[in-house]
Chains A and B, each alone.
Chain A
Amino acid sequence: MEGTFQVLFSILSWTSVMVLVVLGLGVIASMMGIFNFAHGEFMLLGGYTLYLFSVWGLPLWFGIVAAPIVVGIVGMILERTVIHRFYAAPIAAMLGTYALAVIIRETVRSLIDGMYLRVPAPMDGLVVVGNISIAEWRIAVLVISLLVLLGSYLLVNRTNFGLRVRASLENPELARASGISTSQIYAVTFGFGAALAGLAGALMAPLLMFSADMGLKFLIQGFLAVMLGGIGTFEGPALGGAIIGSMASGLPYVLNPILADVLVFVIAIVLVKFRPTGLVSKWRR
């Protein structure tokens, strides 16, 4: 019983993190048609923000709040200066964001001397009930991720802002004719996607080893999740993230971890083969 609970919590905890990572990637891919290769590096910047707060002795919770804000602003600045030039050419956009990724990654690497660092969590206690022992921070990450997921869903689907974003996505010309500044919307949307990555990075940094390569692994799995879930909706990438996250953390319970690592990709690719437009977008059309 305790064992089952611990397993479920562990899978759920990792899944929630993956959903958060994929959400930002999915928002940008869905709303703007761009695969952001710098997504992992936006996570890195989020983690770096929290790291700086710990070095400067500032309250860590402020760092968690600051990370999405800082990275969101960085994202908006990059969108206005670099990314918006690529909308006409998605392939060039991939290369462009990849170049940004390398610049950010190597800059952070030189700032931290290429070292692996520990970023402290705002809460570092353990909750022990009987034989079950769970870190407080993992519970906090789970709760924050679920709240952010719900908040983002409401923002996109239930608010006036969300309506304008979706309008700009589906028919930019008509949106502009209706008085929506699509360029502004794009900047804010890209910033929002970056902010989600920044938050994910700050939440995860205490659970990982903070280093310049922190975001790399998440980028690949994140892309797979977006493809699996389907581009064009909010729910698609979230669902894709949930599937990839639960497979990645769940399969090693029953399989050799190396096999499990490969199998996550194989299963996802087979699913994409049968649903080329992704799990969710298919249902909508």
Chain B
Amino acid sequence: MTNLINNYQSNVQLTRRGFLQNAAWMAGAVATGVGSWVFPAKWAHAAGPIKVGIATDLTGPISFAGIPNSRIAKIAIDQINADGGILGRPLEMYLEDTASNEQIAVGVVRKLVQRNRVDVVLGGITSSMRNAIKDVIVGRGRTLYIYPQLYEGRECTPHLFCTGPTPAQQCDDLIPWLIANGGKRFAFPSANYVWPRVLNEYARKSVENNGGEVVYEEYFPLDQVEYGASVKKIMDEKADVVFNTVIPPGLAPFIKQLYEAGFSARGGRLSCVYYDENCLNFNTAAEMEGLASCLDYFQNIEDPFSAELQATYQKKHAHKDNVLFTAGSASTGMYRGIKLWETAVKEAGNVDRESVSAAMDHAKIANGPGGPASIVPGTYHTQMNMYIAVAKDGKYEILDKAEQVHPKECG
């Protein structure tokens, strides 16, 4: 009983301390409502500050991605301000919690656009979130929107720019690599929503064009956590490569059951294109040994700029919690998006949406997480370096790098 009370007390302290630590990085922020903050500009300019709206999931199931997104956005904006802002004007960050809930999101994003009159909105993690808020921003809101997450593609809306990887960027290099380093028989176990379905469509073509075949494709309810039947089918089909798009909470049980059934023991290759450093602890090192991922950034790539950015994030946030700066959680796309937008505003010479969009259409940055990046004109998508990494002893080893991969979207 005493132990229980002690546990309880230490938990309470942990919560309070955790809360204060979480709040510390927001020093200088002004809360303007529940789940809503403003980071005021540090200096004044006749034309006023440029307002950057960040709408992301700080709470709820997607907060593992939303929290680092908000942090890296703050880092990028602080860096720009430290270099004198844009066009002499300081940036002011308006942060809204979309709470992993599309209905809440529409409300807070409307507030950003209509009441705060931000000049650009960045954010949204899931495709359903993007679809819920995009019209509020670019349609009725007449504001520029930048979406940072890797996704299924096909978003070709004017004034909406995507700065995360597309299916082509994640598959074009990886699928041939998997065939060479795994085999020709592919299994597509998938969560039943839009991203896996559209990604699999692209991946299937890629597998078939490279001489492989898809021997199993099955979709699961999003909350399924028991995969005995699916694992048996994959084993019975003698699949060489499991190209996984199952997501948490089903992800770890699926990989565990696949391992237990002896898939890796018989030489099977596991692959999952959203796997980043956040996912390293989902399963034991043995269970995920040999897992191949393909993303725009990993912590151990050789790029001094990325290393410095990672160090900045770690210095500010690593002591607080386990929420990392990674590619799979849209954080790289967020940083890239802000910096691309910075160059576009500089070129446009004002924050007017039409002229910034026109400049954004060919925006380029020499340095970003993972390397340089540029918007491919007319496509609203971003060209970037892609890396193939394979899990070894619970860490990633970078095995391949493809320079400036084309997103192949929108024309």
Which residue numbers of A lie inside 8 Å of B, CB to CB? 3, 6-7, 10-11, 13-14, 52, 70, 73-74, 107, 109-111, 113-118, 120, 124, 126, 128, 133-135, 138, 207-209, 211, 213-214, 216-217, 248-253, 256-258, 261
Contacts and interface: CB of A to CB of B under 8 A. Distances in A.
Given A113-B321, A114-B64, A216-B223, A256 B218 contact: yes
Top 5 A-B residue pairs of the complex, sorted by shortest distance between their CB atoms: A10-B228, A252-B229, A114-B63, A209-B252, A253-B229
20 contacts: A6-B261, A110-B19, A113-B63, A113-B67, A115-B64, A116-B248, A117-B281, A118-B281, A120-B284, A124-B284, A133-B260, A133-B265, A135-B260, A208-B252, A209-B253, A213-B249, A249-B226, A249-B228, A252-B230, A256-B218
Contacts of A14: 226, 228
Contacts of A253: 228-229, 232
A74 B8 CA distance: 10
Given A133-B262, A211-B249, A257-B229, A110 B15 contact: yes
Interface of B: 1, 4, 7, 11, 14-15, 18-19, 59-61, 63-64, 67, 192, 218-221, 223-226, 228-230, 232, 236, 248-253, 256, 260-262, 265, 278, 281-284, 321-323
B218 A113 contact: no
Contact of A248 (B226, B232, B323): B226
A256 to B, nearest CB: 7
Contact of B232 (A6, A211, A214, A216): A6
Contacts of A252: 228-230
B282 A11 contact: no
The CB with the most chain A CB atoms within 10 A, among B61, B219, B260, B283, is that of: B260
Contacts of A52: 7
A29 B323 CA distance: 40
B249 A114 contact: no
B1 A208 contact: no
A248 to B, nearest CB: 7
A118 to B, nearest CB: 5
B203 to A, nearest CB: 20
A10 B253 CA distance: 13
Contact of B230 (A113, A117, A250, A257): A257
A114 B228 contact: no
A107 B7 CA distance: 14
The CB with the most chain B CB atoms within 10 A, among A3, A10, A135, is that of: A10
B219 A257 contact: yes
A114 B218 contact: no
A116 B328 CA distance: 14
B100 to A, nearest CB: 9
A97 B283 CA distance: 33
Contacts of B224: 257, 261
Contact of B228 (A7, A70, A128, A214): A7
Contacts of A251: 229
